[in-house]
Amino acid sequence: MSPLQIILLIFFSVELVSVLLYVPHIHWWFESRRPQEKYRSKNKRRFALLIPARDESKAIAPLLDSVKRQTYPPELIDVHVIVKDPDDPTIGMVRETLPDAVIQVVPNQKRKAEAMDACMQTILSTGCAPDAYLIVDADCILAANYVEEMNNAMDSGADVVIPRKLIKNWLTEKKEYRTLYANCSAMTYVGVDDMGNKSKSKRGYPLALCGQGMLIGARVIENLGGYPFRSLTEDYELAVECMRRGYKQLYYEYAEIYSEEPLTRHEYNKRRIRWLKGFAQFNKTYGGEVKGMTFGHGRPDPGKLHFLYDLYPVYAMLGGDGIAFGACLVLALVRLFAGGSVGAALLWSLLPVAVAYIQLFVFGAAQLLVSRSFCRMTRKEKTQFLFLFPFVSIEYAWIFILAFTTTVRADDWAPVARMSIDSEEVGSEAVREEREREASA
């Protein structure tokens, strides 16, 4: 066999094996279109709603209004807003909109987890802990029935619940907030939650947790003595704690929040670098322990296998594409210097590029299909996403290398650019969306 034939044989073999390993996930794509079991609780629990709000005065107004609009009894929602500076304008905004909210100043916070930990320890010290804690980022908006549905979700017995993430950017018609990068970031939640966590919840598997809008049961926080996690992606650490203690996790599509997504390539890449740096931290600190829990008790635990190796077939697929492309180029250079023909190697180097594009195109199309009942992209935005998503996604290659080869700093919880939109504008639009979905259901 010629060198080119060997390269192509290895390439096709890797692609075939990777696709076969990914078949369970493809099954989950189709499964995700079925509605989840819906809970209707007769109990009314007390919640502590925590809002880490360091330097968030430009973004927090719509959230405060959405807290005020909750259908759940307000006397059972204890709102805690955590700031860093006692002169933060957020304080005045909170006192005007939610006069009963507790405002806590935590001056030495470097990361979101430190703000949450300080607040939770303060609550625990009073001896009047709630039934559960709700963690809400200052730049999001809550659906009017968010707390009510989280209360319903607790009837499942779950200790940790994550909601469906809708997109705040889609609540405005301003084009500067509905960018390609905002839409690509938004669809990440569809891929992780609706096409992954939803089926994992059904099977009782560990979830890929996201702290945005997350519920954490009281017994979890009491056992932890607060929120002691300090990595860039503390959600991974919480997931490990759930595996250690057997805490049940649930993705619940009926509890909804509107998440604000980055507008530019620069901001989106900052977020992706932070995600992957956090994963690198997790892998270094907890990888061995999770592998022990997975393989250390006879037959490997299928849920933990998914937690550890979910993305490995994807790495193999896209990594195989890149290596085959590079190998064909190297072969062409070798033949060039040897005085031979380079045409075949150059031509075949386009094949793995085309395969990579098709793979990402199919995944993007699946995301649009799964999210069609709640995706609010225009037809033009969907077309742009479908054809350009593969190019945006392929940047993960160099981001992955950067994340695993650069040092994680203590100040990596850096301020990001925020949308500046009218609270009434997005509030009324969010209410309209909720009514439309209720009517269609």
User: Which residues does residue 161 pair with via DSSP β-bridges, in sequence order?
Assistant: 215, 250
Mean pLDDT of 424-441: 60
Which residues, in sequence order, are CB contacts of 212 under 8 Å at separation 6+?
A: 135, 136, 137, 140, 165, 257, 259
What strands, in cross-sheet order, belong to the sheet with 141-142?
102-105, 77-83, 47-52, 132-135, 214-217, 160-167, 249-259, 141-142
Q: How far apart are CA 170 and CA 61, in angstroms?
A: 17
379 and 353, same structural domain?
Answer: yes
Q: What is the pLDDT of residues 321-344, one digit of tens each?
A: 999 999 888 888 887 777 767 777
Residue 406 clears pLDDT 90, i.e. is over it = no
> pLDDT-derived band of residue 295, with 50, 70 and 90 as boundaries?
confident
* pLDDT attached to residue 422: 61
Structure tokens at 435: 């009514």
| pLDDT, greater one: 300 or 44 | 44
Q: What is the pLDDT of residues 173-216, one digit of tens each?
A: 888 999 999 999 999 999 999 999 999 999 999 999 988 899 99
* pLDDT attached to residue 145: 96
- 285 lies in a domain? yes
* pLDDT attached to residue 40: 95
| pLDDT, greater one: 295 or 401 | 295
**Which residues form the domain of 423?**
40-294+418-440
53 and 24, same structural domain?
Answer: no
User: Which residues does residue 68 pair with via DSSP β-bridges, in sequence order?
Assistant: none
- 411 lies in a domain? no
204 and 103, same structural domain?
Answer: yes
- 413 lies in a domain? no
Q: How far apart are CA 75 and CA 72, in angstroms?
A: 9
Which pairing describes strands 77-83 and 47-52: parallel, antiparallel, or unpaired?
A: parallel
* pLDDT attached to residue 411: 46
79 and 117, same structural domain?
Answer: yes
369 and 425, same structural domain?
Answer: no
Contact 164, 193 (CB under 8 A): yes
Angle at which helices 234-245 and 265-295 pack, to 10 degrees? 20
> pLDDT-derived band of residue 236, with 50, 70 and 90 as boundaries?
confident
- 242 lies in a domain? yes
Closest CA to 235 of 124, 321, 65, 116: 116
Q: How far apart are CA 337 and CA 49, in angstroms?
A: 67
367 and 271, same structural domain?
Answer: no
User: Which residues does residue 258 pair with via DSSP β-bridges, in sequence order?
Assistant: 141, 166
189 and 316, same structural domain?
Answer: no
Closest CA to 57 of 81, 90, 85, 83: 90
- 270 lies in a domain? yes
Residue 432 clears pLDDT 70, i.e. is over it = no
| Angle (CA) 199 147 164, round 5° | 30
- 412 lies in a domain? no
230 and 260, same structural domain?
Answer: yes
Structure tokens at 382: 């969907």
Question: The domain spanning residue 112 has which CATH number?
Answer: 3.90.550.10
* pLDDT attached to residue 397: 81
- 430 lies in a domain? yes
> pLDDT-derived band of residue 296, with 50, 70 and 90 as boundaries?
confident
* pLDDT attached to residue 329: 86
On average, the pLDDT of the chain sits at 88
Q: Count of domains in the chain?
A: 2
365 and 346, same structural domain?
Answer: yes
Max CA pair span of the chain: 82
Q: What is the pLDDT of residues 26-82, one digit of tens each?
A: 999 988 889 999 999 999 999 999 999 988 888 899 999 999 999 999 999 999 999
* pLDDT attached to residue 410: 43
430 and 392, same structural domain?
Answer: no
* pLDDT attached to residue 426: 60
Residue 301 clears pLDDT 50, i.e. is over it = yes
- 34 lies in a domain? no
* pLDDT attached to residue 415: 56
Residue 359 clears pLDDT 90, i.e. is over it = yes
Q: What is the pLDDT of residues 87-121, one digit of tens each?
A: 999 999 999 999 999 999 999 888 888 899 999 99
124 and 195, same structural domain?
Answer: yes
Q: How far apart are CA 335 and CA 350, in angstroms?
A: 17
Mean pLDDT of 144-155: 97
342 and 254, same structural domain?
Answer: no
